[in-house]
Structures are given as C-alpha cells and as structure tokens.
Amino acid sequence: MASIKTISPDQATGKLKKIYDNLLQTRGKIAEVHKIQSLNPEALVAHMDLYMAVMFGKSPLRRYQREMLGVVTSASNHCEYCVNHHEQALLAYWKDKVKTMKLAGDRTGVDLSEVDHLLCNLAEKLTLNRDSDYSSEIITLQKAGLDDRAILDAVQVIAYFNFVNRMVLGLGVEFTEEEMKGYKY
C-alpha cells in the first residue's frame, strides 16, 4: 500500500477519470505508478507524455534497448516494482525468460551485443552516479557505432527511470504478482 492517499479508479472524477479510462483502454489496466500520482492529474499526464516520448517515440534506439535500459536502471536502484514491469515488457521482445531475468543481476554471462553491453554499463554507472564525467562512456558508445541522438535517447531513458524509481520507492508503491497481470505490452 502506498504511503500517501491515492484515488482509486472507482472514485475518480473529471480529468482523472478520463486519464484512468484512457489507461484502461490502451494498457488494459491502471498501474500503481499511475495511481500514486492521482492527486496531481496534470503531473500524471506530463509523466505519461514523457514516458511515451522516451519509450515509444521515434529513436535510433530499438524498443528492446529502451526496456533493457529501464530494467538495468531499476535494478541499480533496487526498484523491484519497475524491474518487474519492464522485465515483462522486455520479455515480449527477447522471448527468453532466463536472459531477461539475468539482466537485472549479474550481466556477465548474458548474451548481449557490444553496444547493448555498453548501454547497460552506462545505465548502471550513471544511475549509481559513480563519476561526475561520463565523456569516456560517450566516446566508447560513439566508437561502437551509436550516433549522438541514440546516446541522448539512452541518457533520457536512464534519467526517466531514475525519476520514476525514486517516485515509486519514495511513495511506497509495492510490487505484487497481481500488479504484473493484464497489461497490453
């Protein structure tokens, strides 16, 4: 249960009801990460717009790479809720449960391309804020064939997940098996 009051779908009115109805239609259900923001529908809409732009917008990064970055970032933050959500989404692309589950832990034996390994390393390092200068990581990604737009998109995905992870952890959104069921990926 969340640490703050939330408005359930059956109690929602006005703008929030429209948001919830849209989520039900497009995603199949309303996630706890959306309910936790129910007291501020305008911020919820802005959050959803940012999510759609960084995760589904046109990008040189492939969709699975964005989900992969979300899993690694969330695992680095120990955000079980987001790890589980985005492992499920990544599984829709990879179709390999073992590989998907290993991504959130020790990635040493995970079969990834060089670029995907570098992206995962950037996600972990940037999330854990190990340095104040990431230029060597950027140069390495450029040498591996990523253009600047792809690098920008990767950093935006990583930053987005750090934002959401902190909101989920800070407001006490809990992971349940039931939460993972019923989404349209």
- Dump pLDDT digits (tens) for 134-180: 999 999 999 999 999 999 999 999 999 999 999 999 999 887 777 66
**Whole-model pTM?**
0.92
pLDDT value for 180 = 60
pLDDT value for 179 = 65
- Dump pLDDT digits (tens) for 43-82: 999 999 999 999 999 999 999 999 999 999 999 999 999 9
DSSP 118: H
Do 38 and 6 contact (CB within 8 A), yes or no?
yes
Q: Give the percent of the chain with pLDDT over 70.
A: 96
